[in-house]
Amino acid sequence: MRMSQLFSQTLREAPAEAEIASHQLLLRAGYIRQLAAGIFSYLPLARRTMNKIEAIIRQEMEAIGGQEITMPVVHPADIWKETRRWYKIDAEMARFQDRSGRDMVLAMTHEEVVADLVRRQVHSYRQLPQMLFHIQTKFRDDPRPRAGLIRVREFTMKDSYSLDTDWDGLDRQYRAHHQAYFNVFKRCGLPVIAVKADVGMMGGSLAHEFMYLTDIGEDTLLICNSCGFSANRQVATFRKALPDEETPRATKKVATPACKSIEDLANFLDIPKSRTAKAVFLVANIPDGETKLEHLIFAVIRGDMEVNETKLANAVKAQALRPATEAEIRLLGAVPGYASPVGLKGALVIVDDAIPHSPNLVAGANEEGYHLLNTNYGRDYQAEIIADIAAAQDGDLCPRCSQPLRGVRGVEVGNIFKLGTHFSESMGCTYLDADGQTHPVVMGSYGIGIGRLMACIAEQHHDEYGLVWPVSVAPYLVHLVLLAGKGSAENPNIATRLYTDLQSAGIDTLYDDRSESPGVKFNDADLIGLPLRLTVSERALKAGGVELKRRDLAEREVVPLDQVIPRLRTEFAELQSQIDQSVVLTELSET
C-alpha cells in the first residue's frame, strides 16, 4: 500500500480525552477514529491488525475442533425470555421493537442463539461433542466507556461454545480452551495470566479470566507469588485471621460521641478494628419471576474488612446493588453511623462468615452517639445468610499456603465459562443417549474481545516514539521510506522497483511515497510501528544499498539491494521465533 493512497492520517497530538498510551497512539497513528462514546471506526491499518489477530484465533480454535459459523447481531427477545436473562439484565442490554411491535435485542453474547441452534440440530449422543465459534459484533450499553478500546459499547468478539454429553466432556473442552487462549495471547505478543473469576450474568459453575497485568486495568487481582494462587478480587478468598475463643460477655451500652466511622470508634475505645462489627446497608434488586423486587440488605462484617459487593450480590442472588439512603436506613429503625442488627427487623441480614467466630464485638446501639460492647452472633442477633462477603486486599493471606497475597491491576482480554446445563434446560436442548434416555446438553462458553486485545498489544508494545507491533500482528511487515533528496532523480525508480519486488515476494509493505520531509516520514514510521523499516536515500545508495532498521532496535545498517529480500526473511524468522518460543503448555487451576 502506498501511503499517498492510504485512507488514514497521522496526528501530531492526541485528543485531550485520550488518557492512556494505546488510545493516544492508535488515534495518532491513524488506526481508529471515535464516532460516539464507546463506539469506534477501525481504519485500514487497524483492520489489517485485527484480521491477523482473528486469523491466529481461527487457527487455534480449529486446532481444538472448532467449526466457524456466523450468528445474527439482532435477536428476538423470546429466546432471552426463555433463559430469564431478559428480566435479569438491566439497562446494559439494548432493547427495541421491530416494525411489528415484537421485542428485539442487540446481541450482548450468543448463548441463547447457540441453544436455539442446538435444539433444532442436535438429537442424538452421536452428534456430540461439538464446538462452534464465530467472530461477530456485540453491543453492551456500558454507562462508563473509557480508555479507548479497553472499555467500549460496540465491539467485535470471538465467542465459542462447547457442546457435550457430560461434565467430563466439558472439562476436556474447558481445558482445551484454556491452553488455546494462552497460545492466542502469546502468539499476539501479549503476556497474560489466568485467574478464577465470577460467573456473572453467564451463570455456570466455574469461570476464568485471562488478564493482561497493567496499571490501566479496572480489575483488581490477588496473586500469591509462593503457590501461584490467582483470582479476581470479585471472587478471591483469603485466610481470615480469627481471634481466640472467648466467653461471651454481657452487652453494655457506652457513649461514643462523634464516632460514626470504624476508625473513629476504634481510636475512641482504643481497640483494634477487628474488635468491631461494621454495618453496611444496601438495596438489592432481586428478580422474582418477571418482576424485580427491592430488598434492604443489612450486611455485617468485621471492622478490619471491607464488603465485596460481588460476593454479597451472589449470596443474595441480586441482579444489582445500590447504597441505601439515609431515609431508608432510618425507616428501618437504625441510625446511620450507629447501626446494629441487634433488635432490628425488616431487613435481610447477611453476616460475613468470620462474624460467628469473632466474639464480643463492638456494634452500633441504634442510637445516636452510642455503641454496644460485647455483641455476639447467635446470642444477640441472627442472620438469614452467613457467607464469605469480604473483599481480599493486598497483604491478606493466601487461602492455599497462607503467604501474603499481592494485589495487582489488570485488563480482561478473554474469559471461559463452564455453563453446564442452565441454558440447555431452559431452552429444551436435549439429546438421546445409547439407551434412548433424554439428557440436557452440557455447555461451555468462551470469549475474546478483538479490539480490546489489539489495544492491550499496543499498550504493551510501544515506546516514546510510537507503536512497536509484534511481527505476528503488525498491519504490514515493512515500512519502505523514500527520501527523494536533491539530485537523486533515480531514487523514486529504485524505491518503486523495490516495492514491487517486495510485493511479488509476498512481503506486505507500506510504501511512503509522499512528498514529505525526512523528519515527517521517519516520525510517522515510528508512530505506525511496523517491525522493519527500509529507507531508500542518496546516502544509503552511495553506501551500497538501502538502510535497514528494526523498529525495536536503534541500530541501522546498509543492505545491498540484491540481498534485501533474503535479509528481511531472516529478520522475520528471528522475530517470529521469539514469539513461537513463548507458546508453552500451561496448567489449569480450578481452586
The tens digit of pLDDT for each residue in 156-213 reads 999 999 999 999 999 999 999 999 999 999 999 999 999 988 876 656 678 899 999 9
**CATH number for the domain harbouring residue 532:** 3.40.50.800
C-alpha cell at 475: 498491519
Clarify whether residues 288 and 211 are in a common domain.
no
The mean per-residue pLDDT over the stretch 57-65 comes to: 98
Residue 164: predicted pLDDT:
98
pLDDT at 46 over 80: yes
Burial status of residue 367 (CB atoms within 10 A of its CB: 0-12, 13-18, 19 or more): middle
pTM of the predicted protein model: 0.91
Clarify whether residues 484 and 422 are in a common domain.
no
pLDDT at 466 over 70: yes
What backbone phi and psi angles, to 5 degrees, belong to 573? -60, -40
Per-residue pLDDT tens over the stretch 529-539:
999 999 999 99
Identify whether 188 is part of a domain.
Answer: yes
CB atoms near residue 186 (< 10 Å): 20
Clarify whether residues 297 and 416 are in a common domain.
no
Structurally, the chain folds into a number of domains equal to 3
Residue 201: predicted pLDDT:
60
pLDDT at 488 over 60: no
Clarify whether residues 49 and 189 are in a common domain.
yes
Clarify whether residues 437 and 483 are in a common domain.
no
Q: Give percent of the chain with pLDDT exceeding 90.
A: 87
Residues whose CB falls within 8 Å of the CB of residue 309, separated by 6 or more in sequence, listed in order: 282, 321
Identify whether 243 is part of a domain.
Answer: no
Split at pLDDT 50, 70, 90, the class of 292 is confident
Q: Does 307 or 589 have the greater pLDDT score? A: 307
The mean per-residue pLDDT over the stretch 407-434 comes to: 95
Q: Which of 459, 486, 501 is the last residue before a domain boundary?
A: 459
CA distances for 505 relative to 65, 471, 548, 581, angstroms: 33, 17, 17, 26
Identify whether 332 is part of a domain.
Answer: yes
Per-residue pLDDT tens over the stretch 435-456:
999 999 999 999 999 999 999 9
Residue 590: predicted pLDDT:
66
Clarify whether residues 232 and 260 are in a common domain.
no
C-alpha cell at 68: 466457524
C-alpha cell at 98: 421491530
Per-residue pLDDT tens over the stretch 129-164:
999 999 999 999 999 999 999 999 999 999 999 999
Clarify whether residues 200 and 305 are in a common domain.
no
Identify whether 396 is part of a domain.
Answer: no
Identify whether 155 is part of a domain.
Answer: yes
Q: Which has the closest alpha carbon to 396: 209, 236, 228, 272?
A: 236
Identify whether 392 is part of a domain.
Answer: no
Range of the domain at 266: 252-387
Residues whose CB falls within 8 Å of the CB of residue 245, separated by 6 or more in sequence, listed in order: 359
Split at pLDDT 50, 70, 90, the class of 486 is low
Clarify whether residues 518 and 431 are in a common domain.
no
Q: Which has the closest alpha carbon to 420: 71, 174, 70?
A: 174
Clarify whether residues 564 and 421 are in a common domain.
no
**CATH number for the domain harbouring residue 84:** 3.30.930.10
Identify whether 450 is part of a domain.
Answer: yes
Per-residue pLDDT tens over the stretch 216-236:
998 999 999 999 899 999 999
Clarify whether residues 210 and 335 are in a common domain.
no
Q: Are strands 252-255 and 370-375 parallel, antiparallel or unpaired?
A: antiparallel
Q: Give percent of the chain with pLDDT exceeding 70.
A: 98
Clarify whether residues 258 and 134 are in a common domain.
no
Identify whether 36 is part of a domain.
Answer: yes
Residue 297: predicted pLDDT:
94
Clarify whether residues 48 and 125 are in a common domain.
yes
Residue 14: predicted pLDDT:
87
| 198 within 8 A of 174, measured Cβ to Cβ | no
Distance CA(89)–CA(374), nearest Å, equals: 42
Distance CA(445)–CA(142), nearest Å, equals: 21
Whole-number average pLDDT of the chain:
94
Q: Which of 387, 416, 437 is the last residue before a domain boundary?
A: 387
The mean per-residue pLDDT over the stretch 455-469 comes to: 97
